[in-house]
Structure 1
Amino acid sequence: MGIRVAVAGASGYAGGELLRLIAGHPEFELAVATAHSQAGKPLASVHPHLTGLDLTLAETGLDAFTDADLVFLALPHGESAALAAILPDTVKVVDLGADHRLHDADAWTRYYGGAHAGAWVYGLPELPGQRAKIAQAHRVANTGCYAVAITLALAPLLHSGLADADDVVVVAASGTSGAGKSAKLHLLGSEVMGDLSPYKVGAHQHVPEIKQATGARSLSLTPVLAPMPRGILATVTAKPTSCDITPAVVRAVLAEAYGDEPLVHLLPEGAWPHTAATLGSGAAHLQATVDVDSGRIIVVSAIDNLGKGAAAQAVQNANIMFDLPETAGLSAFGVAP
């Protein structure tokens, strides 16, 4: 018998992507998938792309998880903590929501509101020393989607002393699935198609998470809604700490950080990330240069927000927690066209 897995919040986009990855995982056995308003419906009626998985969505309650070895929480922000608190300590949990990412209770209140549930081990194994912490953990807080793309681009610059932690500016475009599956007027096809629109300008909830993960002290993030279902393209710029930093120096720092990482790819010189290349994959693509006019360091990062930005990242963390090959059930390659 494999590792018995439960997914709470399986009716959403991240939950559906989790189910797809679990179905192809060599060691995971899907035991139960739960939902709220969609409970009682056949899985394929909610996720037609999962036709062939003979499963009915169950109610989200403690009884649904009694036989699970591993629980993925794919619930809205603020809803994971209550369920996590009643799960047995013997069950390993990966929370895809934000409830357990932040150490700073004041930052949680400022950006999310409500009571702070406390911090778990942060689930980004590519950060220095983090993989060992995840391996020992029974509770892991999965990264936010923007946070993955931006942290992977920024962290090596700050850890190496290459960039100024007080001057980081990010503009990042995201597909509409990042806003969840609930019907929203501004996400209607006729509203989104042919349009780019900024949102949560100057107050995006992933900012404190990115600062916590990278050591940045000041970070300006402008998110942009793009007319595509999935993907994030983040352009991260930072002031260098020296005037003689070249593109080759920046690329060398990124290469040293990620040269052995199976799910982070520094592209060949001259090739730039684009979201279509990461579609359906668990990988991040990076490229870097130095602006010839301002001298600022530029790193561009692309991910699938439902892949490395959510479900694939969660599976990667779970693999580490169960001492499995880190890429089990995952692909570093995208789908094209």
Structure 2
Amino acid sequence: MDVAIVGASGYAGGELIRLLQSHSSARVTVATSRALEGRPVADQHPHLRGYTDLTFTNPKAGDIDADFVFLAVPHTAAMNFAGTLLERGIRTVDLSADYRLPKDVYEKVYGVTHTAYFKAPYGIPELHRDEVKGAQFVSNPGCFPTGATLAAAPLAKYAKYVIYDSKTGVSGAGDNPSATTHYPNVADGVNAYKWTSHRHLAEMKQELSRLGSPAHCFFTPHLVPVNRGILTTAHIILDEPMAQDEVEALYRKFYAGEHFVRLQKPTLPAVRGSNFCDIGMESEGERVVVVSAIDNLVKGAAGQAIQNMNIMCGYVEDDGLKAPACLP
């Protein structure tokens, strides 16, 4: 299967190329970039030299020659490709935010008019596998909502409050330098940002609602001086107290058979470079603290996108995603 990556110059695009090197049935044949058109992909992604001899191109949506497309572009850009790809029958996973939310919610949260809206499955496979299976177009979730939602999902319907506190690595901000990600402003510090208004909160609320939860949901992210990873602490306030053994049994049952969810002490090094989400939990009765760890560029972006591709196309779900994490 020939794969095109639209927006292949960024971190997520590079991760898609890296991970697909080991896929048994998919090969990257198109890597697009407006700014880098004509340049070798390995110039932008030097770790991939020797693995790919692709050159960046810049085709229009109607001219992309591939069996499958990943849209690894910023929000508002994906909608310029999505409709055409759907009309052409090219299966697609969109890594942007353009199709994660209902049209009215998207326009309110992102402050733009959606010009090519249609409803798409929201691709957290552990929760929505049946919707993803056989779909033509899937919206890949945000990195924060992935780790947060997987942490809270088994307890969602028992909760009255869910408070997410996430620590994220700098790569989550993308590869364009800014004052926020400038080394002296990040190193040796922890910085809270968008304390009550992060855009991903809308996805978190949406998923709790879909899980049948009446819980009030809150979220504050923090930037920490690491390259990769998101460690999320979910404070889940229950309607009725639940003992530790009850909580553990609930999580074991909920995630039974889920290859990419591991119930063990969550640390960022143990998931770095992998598609795993590690989850641990501790109950004090009415409040359960659940901690999850993911790699924001893999389970939070490119890896989950490939997982969705595999489900859409009928491949083994972990194809291209079998490499263990890099520890230390």
Matched, 1:265 2:262: yes
Identify which of 188, 201, 221 aligns with 1:194: 188
Deviation at 1:335, TM superposition (A): 0.7
Name the SS of the counterpart of 2:180 in structure 1. helix
Distance 2:99 2:198 in 1: 17
Distance 1:219 1:157 in 2: 13
Deviation at 1:63, TM superposition (A): 5.3
Mean Cα deviation higher: 187-196 or 90-99: 187-196
Counterpart residue number, 2:204: 210
Alpha-carbon RMSD: 1.4
Contact 2:5/2:72, CA 8 A, preserved across alignment: yes
Contact 1:58/1:64, CA 8 A, preserved across alignment: no
Counterpart residue number, 1:28: 26
Distance 2:170 2:58 in 1: 27
Name the SS of the counterpart of 2:278 in structure 1. strand
Distance 1:63 1:118 in 2: 18
Deviation at 1:119, TM superposition (A): 2.8
Change (3 A) 1:332 1:261: farther
Contact 2:62/2:84, CA 8 A, preserved across alignment: no
Counterpart residue number, 2:70: 72
Counterpart residue number, 2:44: 46
Counterpart residue number, 1:8: 6
Distance 1:310 1:273 in 2: 19
Distance 1:331 1:273 in 2: 19
Alignment deviations for residues 108-151 of structure 1 (CA, whole Å, 9 cap, x no partner)? 12221112323311111101xx2121112100000110010001
Q: What residue identity is the alignment partner of 1:193?
A: A
Matched, 1:122 2:132: no
Which residues in structure 2 correspond to 1:232-271 (within 5 Å)? 232-243=230-241, 245-267=242-264
Counterpart residue number, 1:98: 97
Deviation at 1:332, TM superposition (A): 6.3
Counterpart residue number, 2:138: 140
Contact 1:111/1:203, CA 8 A, preserved across alignment: no
Instruction: Normalising by structure 2, report the TM-score.
Output: 0.94
Q: What residue identity is the alignment partner of 1:180?
A: G
Q: What residue identity is the alignment partner of 1:126?
A: E
Q: What residue identity is the alignment partner of 2:261?
A: V
Contact 1:13/1:180, CA 8 A, preserved across alignment: yes
Contact 2:271/2:326, CA 8 A, preserved across alignment: yes
Contact 1:35/1:60, CA 8 A, preserved across alignment: no
Identify which of 141, 156, 175 aligns with 1:181: 175
Counterpart residue number, 1:336: 327
Q: What residue identity is the alignment partner of 1:149?
A: G
Q: What residue identity is the alignment partner of 1:197?
A: N
Contact 2:110/2:199, CA 8 A, preserved across alignment: yes
Instruction: Normalising by structure 1, report the TM-score.
Output: 0.92
Distance 1:22 1:182 in 2: 24
Distance 1:195 1:218 in 2: 30
Say how many residue pairs are matched. Answer: 320
Distance 1:110 1:201 in 2: 18
- Structure 1 residue ranges without an equivalent (≥5): none
Change (3 A) 1:45 1:332: closer
Counterpart residue number, 2:276: 283
Alignment deviations for residues 200-256 of structure 1 (CA, whole Å, 9 cap, x no partner)? 11011111111111225421101000101110000001111213x112111111111
Q: What residue identity is the alignment partner of 1:213?
A: E
Change (3 A) 1:184 1:76: same
Mean Cα deviation higher: 12-21 or 217-226: 217-226
Counterpart residue number, 2:151: 153
Q: What residue identity is the alignment partner of 2:195?
A: V
Matched, 1:306 2:297: yes
Matched, 1:162 2:158: yes
Name the SS of the counterpart of 1:336 in structure 2. coil
Change (3 A) 1:172 1:24: same
Name the SS of the counterpart of 1:58 in structure 2. coil
Q: What residue identity is the alignment partner of 2:247?
A: V
Distance 2:147 2:154 in 1: 13
Name the SS of the counterpart of 1:250 in structure 2. helix
Name the SS of the counterpart of 1:260 in structure 2. coil
Name the SS of the counterpart of 1:312 in structure 2. helix
Distance 1:220 1:14 in 2: 27
Alignment deviations for residues 78-137 of structure 1 (CA, whole Å, 9 cap, x no partner)? 11011111224410000000000112x33212221112323311111101xx21211121
Mean Cα deviation higher: 313-322 or 111-120: 111-120
Contact 2:243/2:284, CA 8 A, preserved across alignment: no
